[in-house]
Amino acid sequence: MSWDNFTIFAIIAVILWIAGAVVAWKSKKELLVYLFTISGLAVFFAFILGMWISLERPPMRTMGETRLWYSFFLPMAGLITYSRWKYKWILSFSTILAIVFICINIFKPEIHNKTLMPALQSPWFAPHVIVYMFAYAMLGAAAIMAIYLLWFKKKDILATEMDLTDNLVYVGLSFMTFGMLFGALWAKEAWGHYWAWDPKETWAAVTWISYLAYIHFRLGKPRQYKTALWIMLISFIFLQMCWYGINYLPSAQGASVHTYNT
Amino acid sequence: MWKQPWGLKEGFAICIGLFLTGIILQITVGKIDWDLFAFPVNIITLGVFIAGIATMHITAQKVYLFKWMSRYQAAVTAMLGVVAVTVIMGVIRQKPFHVEVLGFESWLGFSQMLSAWPFILLYMWFTMLVGMVTLRRLFPFRLRNIPFLLNHAGLFIAITAAVLGSADMQRLEMTASIGSENPEWRAYNKLGEMKELPLAVKLNEFTIDEYPPKLILIDNETGKALPEGKPANLLLEEDFSVGNLLDWHIVVTQHIPEAASMATEDTLRFVEFHSMGAAYAVYVQAENTRTGEKKEGWISGGSFMFPYKAIRLSNEMSLVMPEREPRRYASDVTIYTEKGEVFESVIEVNKPFKVDGWKIYQLNYDHSKGKWSTISIFELVRDPWLPVVYAGIWMLIAGAVCMFLTAGKTRKEDKK
């Protein structure tokens, strides 16, 4: 399996996800929704697995490779949300977002070679990245919900919709906590300290505390929906800074142990 | 403002007050020297801090501020304050503590945020609130409060132990050489001061496994890999023979993994050489698929004994073999302790060796000699507070498990 095969796998997966999203939107045939979306996930995961085997290392080193996981987890997060709360539009949104990330990978591919520096060769590597990508996907779904509620929904925001948003954030934040703390435990084994305020870690702290602020604001002011959603969207912007923004941030150039692109 | 009940406005006012107080302290007193908190000062500070929080908790019914401190409004504003000051840290390039900064930079201290007063005061306020709310939920104790306590107490323990323990942490660098008569027991801190250790390390062997070499194109003028921004490469695995880089079709006709270069009268050629300093060499035929231009010759990444060899494909670009990347490097060592214990171990990246409260990490080697390095550089770390920090971290992990499991279930009753 090589990166050249990506387009064909991605197209099949996307078609299946779109089919699932359309069925979810138009009809009540839930079984078909699951069938299409899960098949899409299986096709996409087959590609990830193929890359894993042919690269002889987990495909998680470059930004392109983490985007791969993100495009995989988004429809999965969408499907979990759909199965629990039956929002007919959530799969359309998660599919669109997944397509955006797939397109970035198709049109701006990065080098994907076999080398993996010794610092990354650790049993912590896979859980650290997978858990973070799943968290990002859940929080991405929550951000989509916030955008929908703030700008697209014509009627008043319902308490049940805020509950859904809260639940997505709770799940996302708990996984983000795992990702961050697994990272700390790994850092102790690899670099001698569990927290070194490396730029990525600084922004991870910002993101984590910012989502905590959302949760506490919701508990303290449960009826101020819009302010809460704003806090969440700002948190999501911090998340982008943490994920890839620091690669472009002048203050972080050459200062991070978290860049493995070259 | 300041009419009871206090809300978010008062919370923000307190944060801004702390920030400004921090700036004034920074200008007048200067940055905080964390080394002053070395044992036993950190234990005393911790005692005072916890006693203070306990006192505030007990008198919470009498003093409104203390009661308010365990409310959501206090928590949310403290978090946003901490977020704001950490964002400042994130956008300003940080310098190590021991670097002297002058003038405006030192007044604010934002380029050494971890020892800057505004940062510390806001984090202290945040941690105090976490402590207060932990105590409030701890007494009276209820089983259903366990997830809450794991999250909050875990965070409190991890932060206080990490911050106050930092002065007791030692990070030293040691260089050990193969064949030296005595094991090495001297190490150096960040300031270059020598420390004698209660343990000694003897380097028996140092090994590097490398990834196969790569072929890349570079720009003749800038030396940058092409295409710029996302350089392409060919990984020369054993079965590799044909590949493409940009417009060039590349055929490798001969691999010599351990080679020496030999200068003959008019050319440089490579022959088998199985000894120290051998370099990887390949014979390459390159053809430009657009112009049909052909070039061929030896390419080698060189070593500390032999120079590198490239092929100049055109006026613009050359085909080169960059240094090989290490797959794994490891030191075979014997470790002696003061008590007379002797350990044999292999230390490598991500696999430190633990002895007597120290962790010994593989840090570096002599890059100029690469895989024939006769030295190995270790980092030795001692952090007596680590078990406490880890207790906090594992409580937080357990708390996150609870948060995941109960998402969408328990909060209805909490909301009121």
**pLDDT, mean over chain A:** 90
Joined together, the tokens standing for residue A27 give 């009809």
**A32-46, B101-115, B123-137 — which is least confidently predicted?**
B101-115
Is the model's pLDDT at A202 over the cut of 90? yes
Which among A181, A194, A203 has the least Cβ separation from residue B397?
A181
| In chain B, % of residues over pLDDT 90 | 74
Residue A218 Cα, gap to closest chain B Cα (Å):
9
pLDDT at B66: 96
Mean pLDDT of B325-344: 93
Task: Specify the pLDDT at position B262.
Answer: 87
Calculate how close chain B gets to A169, using CA atoms only, in Å. 9
Task: Give the pLDDT of residue B103.
Answer: 83
Look at A192 and B361 and tell me if their CB atoms are within 8 Å: yes
Contact B83 A178 (CB under 8 A): no
Quick one: pLDDT band at residue A126, thresholds 50, 70, 90? confident
Q: How far is B359 from chain A (nearest CA, A)?
A: 8
Residue B414 has pLDDT above 60, yes or no: no
pLDDT given at position B416: 37
Q: Which residues of B touch A194 (CB under 8 A)?
A: 162, 386, 389, 393
Task: Return the pLDDT at A17.
Answer: 96
Shortest distance, CA B254 to any CA of chain A (angstroms): 22
- Tens digit of pLDDT for each residue in B229-252? 777 888 888 788 898 998 899 999
Bridge pairing between strands B214-219 and B234-235: antiparallel
B91, B114, B386 ranked by CB distance to A251: nearest = B91
> What gap in Å lies between CA B279 and CA B308, rounded to an integer?
9
ipTM: 0.90
Question: Is pLDDT above 60 for A261?
Answer: no
Average pLDDT score over residue span B361-367:
93
Closest Cβ–Cβ partner in A188, A197, A222 for B415 = A222
pLDDT tens digits, A46-104: 999 999 998 888 888 877 888 899 899 989 988 987 887 777 888 888 898 899 889 88
Domain ranges, ordered by start, for chain B: 8-168, 171-209+327-382, 212-324
The DSSP string of chain A is --GGGHHHHHHHHHHHHHHHHHHHHH---HHHHHHHHHHHHHHHHHHHHHHHHHHTS-S-SSHHHHHHHHHHHHHHHHHHHHHHH--TTHHHHHHHHHHHHHHHHHHS-----S---GGG-STTHHHHHHHHHHHHHHHHHHHHHHHIIIII--SPPPHHHHHHHHHHHHHHHHHHHHHHHHHHHHHHHHHS-S----HHHHHHHHHHHHHHHHHHHHHHSTT-HHHHHHHHHHHHHHHHHHHTGGGT-GGGTTT-TT----
Q: Which amino acid is at A198?
A: D
B167 touches chain A (CB under 8 A): no
Tokens 């984090």 locate to B123
